[in-house]
Amino acid sequence: MPEKPKVPGLFKGLGVTLGILKDTIVDGANTVQYPHEKEAPPIRARGVIALHEDNCTACMLCARSCPDWCIYIEGHKQLAPPRRAGGKPRQVNHLDRFDIDYALCMYCGICVEVCPFDALFWSPEYEYSEPKIADLLHDKEKLGEWMETVPEAPELEAGAQKK
């Protein structure tokens, strides 16, 4: 194999920067001009946590496992009508308050992992910055609205066991 003539590193370096200059002019930059055009985050991106309120039993597992203590839950027990006619009324936990303070949240996702009833979901939505830091406390109505942005769960791989 014929040996390539050696280019001194100095000129190689100049060539690299000039090459990228050319690429940027011809093909455009690798960056996105954010407010004008938006990047599509991957569907499993950790943007915001959404709450599916009906599934929540106020079991407090998420609040207790949160490293930042940024989840605030209040609830009370109440009686619900029986499932079948003639049965006893059921006792259920009713959720009064479910707040996540995104000023504290570090997006570790432990709450989503730990939730035994599939009440918390990751959504790739990322545009919820606020002029006031207090507005980053999302209450359960707002967390519920994020549910619309939660993408469909991808198909399981062939041979995977579904619980």
Joined tokens for residue 14: 């100049």
Name the minimum Å distance from CB 37 to other proteins.
12
Helix H or strand E segment including 63: helix 61-65
* Residue whose entry in the numeric block shows the structure tokens 């209450």: 139
Closest CB to other proteins among residues 29, 80 = 29
Name the minimum Å distance from CB 47 to other proteins.
23
Name the minimum Å distance from CB 77 to other proteins.
55
Closest CB to other proteins among residues 9, 154 = 9
Name the minimum Å distance from CB 127 to other proteins.
18
CB 110 within 8 A of CB 66: yes
Closest CB to other proteins among residues 9, 87 = 9
Positions in the binding site for other proteins (CB under 8 A):
10, 13-14, 16-18, 20-21, 23-25, 29-31, 33
Q: Provide the 8-state DSSP code for 68.
A: T
Closest CB to other proteins among residues 7, 21 = 21
Joined tokens for residue 41: 């985050």
What is d(CA 107, CA 113) in angstroms, rounded to the nearest whole number? Answer: 12
What is the CA angle 87-96-45, rounded to 5? 110
